[in-house]
């Protein structure tokens, strides 16, 4: 996968990363947050800054990578790791806390992903709105790597062991005006690999702009600013998957279609890497050296590696078709002799009675495609709860 790594502690980028988070929270978030909620956001941030543990990481290195993985079927269908759509879908809250709002009050969201080789992931979310404070979403998330054979150095088997990672998230969101909302997630993370364990903490902050006609929605998200508190045995602390994302949704008038343009890893420009085994690499017949891309080709390639393009077409109010294209995934996971549909994704969503179902598949490799399943419902309707506090 990707080889690019930025790590703030101990290098010249440390101050830049901390300054970015401080500016976003101090200048953009705190002035608009109710006083009773400020400590919820400030305490973990102060801890992270005091320990110097902010990290920026892109692909393949570090710990707790599941924190930045696609989490719901609807998001996976358009090819990204988050969405910018303000329609009360609680399954979007985990990746974009600024979408948490009173429409999600007492909503329940469940998601499951069937990955490769018996690896499975999922989460359960529940939301509650409190007067004068805002809306909250509580999420329990897991990544189960399955069961393995334990063996000694001679190969003699000594039973079985399991490996898994978990995160508990408290998310908060509040609408500051009809056009702007903010939100934050506080995550406690832990992992168990047989007898080896690790813990961590992370914070997301986000802001969303909504046009007057609600047909344009844009979100800026700073995710997984955090630290590994307890490293694995006999190991040093490692970075967690810090990310900066900017996404736009456009819903054209008179057309039942939503267009998503989603960007991520905005803190790292160069997402390319040189693969010496790349069979597509052309060699100059005179010098014997590999041909280098022009500056324009390199710029275009890098730009597209940050972008995901997807869409959602609503055939009826209760039935939706979705699709997406992830350029970076296609470039990193392709087999040149057989490109197939790597990087493309598709899905559908429908409503039956009081339940919303979503299903999608995303092509990561020729070996197969993971299955994503999500269900959401309003518990007030299911159990006839009252909405009054």
HEC assignment per residue over 173-189 = EEEEECCEEEEEEEEEE
Cβ atoms within 10 Å, residue 204: 26
The runs of H, that is alpha helices, within the chain are 14-23, 35-51, 73-77, 295-305, 327-333, 379-382
Spatial CB neighbours of 336, under 8 Å, sequence gap ≥ 6: 278, 279, 280
Give residue 1's pLDDT: 35
Grouping H, G, I as helix, E, B as strand and the rest as coil, residue 112 is strand
| Nearest residue to 76 (alpha-carbon basis) of 206, 262, 249 | 262
Residue in this structure with the two tokens 């939301």, named with its chain if needed: 127
Give residue 10's pLDDT: 35
Indicate if the alpha-carbon torsion angle 152, 155, 156, 160 is positive or negative: positive
Contact 358, 383 (CB under 8 A): no
Domains of the chain, first to last: 5-147+156-382 (2.40.160.40)
Spatial CB neighbours of 146, under 8 Å, sequence gap ≥ 6: 117, 118, 119, 120, 162, 163
- DSSP for 232-290, written as a single string: PTT--------EEEEEEEE--TTS-EEEEEEE--TT--------TT-TT--B-TTT-PB
Give residue 330's pLDDT: 92
Give residue 354's pLDDT: 92
- The pTM (predicted TM-score) of the whole model is 0.81
What DSSP character marks residue 2?
A: -
Give residue 273's pLDDT: 76
Give residue 151's pLDDT: 86
- In tens digits, the chain (389 residues) has pLDDT values of 333 333 333 334 444 445 555 555 555 555 545 454 544 455 445 544 444 444 445 555 689 999 999 989 999 999 999 999 999 999 999 999 999 999 999 999 999 999 887 899 999 999 999 988 899 999 999 999 999 988 888 888 888 999 999 999 999 999 999 999 999 999 999 999 988 999 999 999 999 999 999 999 999 999 999 999 999 988 889 999 999 999 999 999 999 999 999 999 999 999 987 766 666 666 555 665 666 777 898 899 999 999 999 999 999 999 999 999 999 999 888 887 788 899 999 999 999 999 999 999 998 888 778 999 999 999 999 887 544 44
């Amino acid at each position: 996968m990707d080889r690019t790594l930025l790590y703030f502690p101990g290098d010249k980028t440390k101050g830049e990363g901390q300054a970015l988070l401080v500016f976003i929270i101090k200048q953009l978030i705190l002035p608009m947050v109710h006083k009773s909620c400020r400590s919820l956001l400030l305490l973990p941030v102060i801890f992270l800054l005091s320990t110097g543990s902010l990290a920026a990481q892109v692909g393949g290195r570090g710990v707790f990578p599941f924190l930045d993985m696609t989490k719901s079927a609807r998001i996976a269908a358009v090819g990204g790791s988050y969405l910018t759509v303000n329609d009360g879908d609680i399954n979007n809250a985990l990746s974009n806390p600024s979408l948490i709002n009173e429409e999600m009050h007492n909503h329940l969201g469940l998601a499951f992903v069937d990955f490769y080789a018996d690896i499975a992931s999922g989460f359960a979310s529940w939301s509650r709105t409190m007067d004068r404070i805002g809306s909250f979403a509580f999420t329990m998330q897991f990544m189960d790597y399955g069961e393995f054979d334990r063996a000694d150095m001679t190969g003699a088997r000594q039973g079985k062991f399991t490996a898994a990672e978990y995160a508990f998230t408290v998310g908060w969101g509040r609408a500051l005006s009809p056009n702007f909302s903010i939100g934050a997630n506080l995550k406690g993370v832990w992992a168990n690999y047989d007898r080896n364990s690790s813990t961590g903490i992370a914070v997301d902050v986000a802001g969303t702009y909504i046009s007057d006609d609600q047909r344009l929605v844009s979100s800026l998200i700073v995710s997984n600013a955090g630290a590994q508190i307890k490293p694995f045995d006999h190991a040093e602390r490692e970075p967690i998957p810090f990310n900066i994302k900017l996404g736009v949704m456009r819903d054209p008038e008179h057309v039942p279609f939503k267009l998503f343009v989603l960007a991520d890893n905005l803190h790292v420009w160069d997402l390319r890497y040189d693969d010496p085994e790349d069979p597509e690499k052309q060699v100059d017949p005179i010098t014997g050296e590999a041909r280098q891309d022009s500056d324009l080709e390199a710029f275009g390639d890098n730009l597209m590696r940050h972008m995901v393009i997807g869409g959602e077409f609503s055939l009826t109010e209760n039935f939706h078709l979705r699709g997406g294209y992830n350029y970076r995934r296609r470039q990193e996971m392709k087999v040149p002799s057989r490109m197939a549909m790597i990087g493309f994704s598709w899905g559908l969503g429908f409503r039956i009675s009081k339940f919303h179902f979503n299903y999608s598949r995303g092509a990561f490799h020729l070996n197969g495609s993971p299955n994503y399943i999500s269900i959401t419902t309003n518990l007030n309707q299911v159990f006839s709860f009252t909405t009054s506090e």
